[in-house]
Amino acid sequence: MTKKVSDRNTKAELLEAYQELTQEKNELETQIKQLSSNRKEVQPISEEKIKPMTTTPVVQKPKMQQTIDNLLLLQSGFGSAVNELSEQLTSEAIKLGELRQNVTNELQQLEELHDLETVEDDTLEILIQRYEDAAQTFDQELRLRRETLEQEIQEQQKAWQKEQEENQRTVKERNETYKKSRSRDQETYDYSLKLQRDLDSDTYSQTKKTLYKQLEDLQEEQDKQWTGREKTIAEREKIYAEVKAKVEEFPQKLEENIKRGKDLGRNIGNYQAKIKADLLAKEVEGQKQYYELRVKSLMDTIQSQDTRLQTLSKQLDSGLKQVQDLAVKAIEGSSNVSSFQAVKEIALEQAKNPNKGK
C-alpha cells in the first residue's frame, strides 16, 4: 500500500511513492494479463469437451458395444473435465474478485491520495507526469535554493573576512596606540621620578642643613645655659666660702668682742659691761645661727644643682644620641619629614627642661 503524499513531502518521499506506484501498476498489469490468459485457456477446453457431445450423433456406429463404451468413457471424462473446469472457474472467480477488490482499493487510495473524482485509464500516467513535473520543479527550486544559499554563504564569508580584517586592523591600531601611550607614560613616569628624586635630594639637603643648624643652635643654647649655671654655682661657692670664712672667724671675733667688752666694763662699770656683754653675746649668737642657716641653704642648693647638672648631662647625652640616630636615618633616606620633626621635638624638649629646673 502506497503512502499518502502531499506538496509538503520531500523529493525522496515523492520518488519513493512514485516507485511504489510504478511497481503496483506493473503488478496490476501482470495480474490482468494472467486473468486474460486464464480465460482464453478455459474457453478451448469447454469447446473440446462439448464437441464430442454435438458430434456423437453423426458418428457412424460400427459396433454397439464400442459405442456404449465410448459413451461411458466420454461421460466419465466429461464429468471430471466439468468438475475440473468448475474448480478452475471458481478459483479464477475468487482471484478475479480479489483482484477487482485490490483494484478498487488501489483506485480508492489513488482517489484519496490525489483527490481524484474519477480514475481513468490514463490517470496513472497523469499522476506520474504530475510527479515528474513536481520532481522537476522541486529540483529547480532545490537548485535555486542551493544557489541562493551558496551565494548567501559566500556573502557571509566575505562579510566575515571583511570583519576579521577590520578587527585585525582595529587590534593593530589599538596595540600601536597602547604601545605609544605606554611609552609616553613610561617617559612621563621616568621624568616625574627623576624630578621627584631631584626634589627629594634638594629637600633632603635643605632638611639636613636645617637639622644641623638646629643642632648647633641647641648645642650653643645648652653651652650658654651651662656657662650661666657654672657662673651661678661659682658665685654661690664664693659666697659660701665667704660665709664659711666668717663662720670660722666668728669664735675668734666673739672672744675679741668679749675681751673688748670686759675691758670696756672695767672702764664703765661692771653693770653696764654685763648688759652690753649679754647683748653682744646674743647678737653674735643670732649672727652665728643666721650664717649657719645660710651655709646650710647654700649647701643644699649646691647639692641640688650638682644633681640637676648630672641629670641634664644624661638627658643631653641621650638627646644627642637620638639626634644622631635620626640624622643617620634621614641620611639613609627614610622618613625625612618625620625624622626632622622628631629631632625638632627633642630639641624643643631639651630646651624646655632646663627652664623647668631653674
pLDDT, tens digit (0-9, with 9 covering 90-100), for 186-213: 888 888 888 877 777 777 778 777 877 8
Q: Measuring CA to CA, which residue among 287, 300, 286, 283 is closest to residue 240?
A: 300
Distance in angstroms (rounded) separating the CA atoms of residues 340 and 318: 17
Query: Quick check: 9 and 38 in contact, CB under 8 A?
Result: no
**Selection from 112, 124, 97 nearest residue 20 by Cα:** 124
Determine, yes or no, domain membership for 34: no
d(CA 215, CA 346): 10
Q: Is residue 81 assigned to a domain?
A: yes
Question: Domain tally for the chain?
Answer: 1
156 pLDDT above the threshold of 70:
yes
Question: In which domain, by residue range, is 110 found?
Answer: 69-119
| pLDDT top residue among 288 and 193 | 193
Question: Is the CB of residue 357 less than 8 Å from the CB of residue 225?
Answer: no
Asked if the model's pLDDT at residue 265 lies above 60, the reply is no
**Number of H-type helices and E-type strands within the chain:** 5, 0
Of the chain, the percentage scoring pLDDT greater than 90 comes to 0
Instruction: For the chain, give the mean pLDDT.
Output: 71
pLDDT score at 338: 54
Rounded CA gap, 55 and 68, in Å? 15
83 domain-assigned: yes
Which one-letter DSSP state was computed for residue 104?
A: H
For residues 171 and 1, the model is more confident at 171
CA dist., res. 259 & res. 263, Å (int)? 6
Residue length of the chain: 358
d(CA 151, CA 247): 135
Q: Find out whether 21 and 127 touch, Cβ atoms under 8 Å.
A: yes
Q: Is residue 49 assigned to a domain?
A: no
Task: Identify whether 101 is part of a domain.
Answer: yes
User: What pLDDT was estimated at residue 355?
Assistant: 45
Residue 41 lies in a domain: no
Which residues have CB under 8 Å from 233's CB, separation 6+? 302, 305
Q: Are 99 and 36 in contact (CB under 8 A)?
A: no
What value, to the nearest 5°, has the Cα angle with vertex 302 and ends 301 and 304?
65
Query: Do 353 and 315 touch, CB atoms closer than 8 A?
Result: yes
Looking at the domain assignment, is residue 107 inside a domain? Answer: yes
Q: Which helix (H) or strand (E) holds 57?
A: none
- 91 part of a folded domain: yes
